[in-house]
């Protein structure tokens, strides 16, 4: 089955008379005793439907969480006390902040590396217990050599984890490259409509799946049934949304590169996220984000609507991200409308 067919068909009730086509929302804190679920923290049929669909897309078994960062925290908790975690220096800011917090409390050691420097990453793997990868990175849009770094992590006996939020399983399936775990902020492309916070972990390793499920049962970072329903409803059109966002992004990246107000365009050649560095600096970037009519000034990404922001407006964003970098989450609107809105605002900047 192709990815589009999987996105549409997986995780549905059986084709039987009077069954609904979609798994319903099941509000339940408890279930009649004697089954596998028993209690609302241990499982819910609506999460299970979402997990079936996402697992089928990534090629493993999925577990849903209350947010992407809850999934990140769950994965980082796999390593022993004082162990070393290697991560990209420019990866998602929330992940960097979690690592810094864990390090400050003596829970683990972190080594932040330029993820595009494969030799440096491979070298850093030597003393790692867990190698965190994100590719493309948020918001620098750096691409990692996943197969090489995953192999180096395994050589060192470390877990290899890939945050696949930007690429989605349609453009990249890290489990096929040997990754032990894939992490998602479901909040972004998978749900895709800027109305849900949810996360997920996917693995092809049954033992790891069991460990993670046990931790989720204990800690309780579970999604709501309504959220899981919305996420699955969003997932049904993932292939259409990603295809359109990617086509729009590629075209906008090309046109932005020719505009005099834009000093640099970063686009890895796939996906729906583009970053630009304004030639006239951070003030120009802030002006841009307030001059448009369609593009919404907002954080987050991966929704049907186009949004953008200057990332360094967040004090915690690392200084390795240019001050004038604006991350554009390209939506599924008509590309000519998106361009016209941007072009007018950019023309205004160059006066
Ligand atoms: C947003 C994001 C997260 C965190 O997910 P939440 O759902 O906001 O908790 C993790 N990784 C990446 C790459 C993200 O963009």
Of 217, 235, 253, the residue at which a domain comes to its end is 235
Residues 101 and 70 reside in one and the same domain: yes
Q: Is there a single domain that holds both residue 129 and residue 204?
A: yes
| Ranges of residues in the chain whose predicted pLDDT is under 50 | none
Q: 223 and 96 share a domain?
A: yes
Looking at the structure of the chain, the number of domains it has is 2
Q: Is 180 a catalytic residue?
A: no
List, as one string, the DSSP characters of 19-85.
--SSPPP---SB--TTSS--BTTT--HHHHHHHHHHHHHHTSEEEEESSHHHHHHHHHTTSPTT-EE
> Do residue 332 and residue 231 come from a single domain?
no
Both 65 and 125 in a single domain? yes
Domain boundary among 212, 235, 258: 235
- Lookup: tokens for 327: 């991350």
Q: Which two tokens stand for residue 68?
A: 């992407």
How much distance in Å is there from the Cα of 69 to the middle of ligand 1? 6
Return the ∠ at Cα 263 (arms to 262 and 269), rounded to 5°.
80
What CATH code is carried by the domain that includes residue 260?
Answer: 3.90.1150.10
The question of whether 163 is a catalytic residue gets the answer yes
Considering the domain architecture, whether residues 264 and 278 belong to the same structural domain is answered as: yes
Instruction: Kindly state whether residues 164 and 243 are assigned to the same domain.
Output: no
Quote the pLDDT of residue 351. 79
Cβ of 65 closer than 6 Å to ligand 1, yes or no, is no
Please tell me whether residues 215 and 265 are part of one structural domain: no
273 and 134 share one domain: no
- Could you tell me which of 269, 246, 257, 190 has the C-alpha nearest to residue 223? 190
- 199 pocket-lining for ligand 1 (C-beta < 6 Å): yes
Q: Clarify whether residues 242 and 230 are in a common domain.
A: no
* Residues 98, 148, 177, 58, CA torsion sign: positive
Which structural domain range is residue 275 located in? 238-350
* Ligand 1 neighbour 44 (Cβ under 6 A): no
85 and 43 share one domain:
yes
For the question of residue 41 being annotated catalytic, the response is yes
Choosing from 235, 270, 305, the residue where a domain stops is: 235
pLDDT tens digits along 263-321: 999 999 999 999 999 999 999 999 999 999 999 999 999 999 999 999 999 999 999 99
If asked whether residues 176 and 97 sit together in one domain, one would say yes
Q: For residue 129, give the CATH number of its domain.
A: 3.40.640.10
pLDDT tens-digit map of 325-349: 999 999 999 999 999 999 999 999 9
């Amino acid at each position: 089955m192709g990815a589009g067919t999987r996105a549409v068909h997986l995780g549905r009730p059986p084709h039987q008379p009077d069954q609904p086509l979609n798994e319903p929302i099941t509000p339940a804190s408890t279930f009649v005793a004697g089954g596998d679920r028993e209690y609302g923290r241990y499982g819910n049929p609506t999460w299970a439907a979402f997990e079936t669909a996402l697992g089928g897309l990534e090629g493993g078994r999925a577990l849903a969480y209350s947010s992407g960062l809850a999934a990140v925290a769950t994965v980082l908790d796999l390593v022993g006390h004082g162990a070393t975690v290697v991560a990209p220096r420019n990866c998602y800011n929330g992940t960097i902040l979690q690592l810094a917090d864990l390090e400050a409390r003596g829970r683990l050691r972190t080594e932040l590396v330029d993820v595009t420097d494969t030799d440096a990453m491979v070298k850093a793997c030597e003393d790692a217990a867990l190698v965190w990868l994100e590719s493309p990175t948020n918001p620098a849009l750096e691409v990692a050599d996943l197969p090489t770094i995953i192999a180096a992590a395994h050589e060192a006996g470390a877990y290899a984890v890939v945050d696949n939020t930007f690429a989605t399983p349609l453009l990249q399936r890290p489990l096929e490259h040997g990754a032990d775990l894939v992490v998602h902020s479901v909040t972004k492309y998978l749900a895709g409509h800027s109305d849900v916070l949810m996360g997920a972990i996917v693995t092809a390793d049954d033992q790891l799946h069991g460990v993670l499920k046990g931790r989720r049962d204990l800690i309780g970072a579970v999604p709501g049934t309504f959220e899981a329903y919305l996420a699955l409803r969003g997932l049904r059109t993932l292939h259409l949304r990603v295809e359109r966002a990617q086509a729009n992004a590629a075209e906008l990246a090309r046109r932005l590169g020719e505009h005099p107000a834009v000093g640099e365009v970063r686009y890895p050649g796939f996906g729906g996220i583009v970053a630009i560095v304004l030639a006239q600096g951070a003030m120009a970037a802030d002006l841009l984000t307030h001059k448009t009519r369609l593009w919404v000034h907002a954080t987050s990404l991966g929704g049907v609507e186009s949004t953008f922001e200057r990332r360094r407006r967040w004090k915690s964003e690392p200084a390795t991200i240019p001050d004038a970098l604006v991350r554009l989450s390209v939506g599924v609107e008509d590309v000519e409308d998106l361009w016209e809105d941007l072009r007018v605002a950019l023309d205004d900047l160059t006066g």
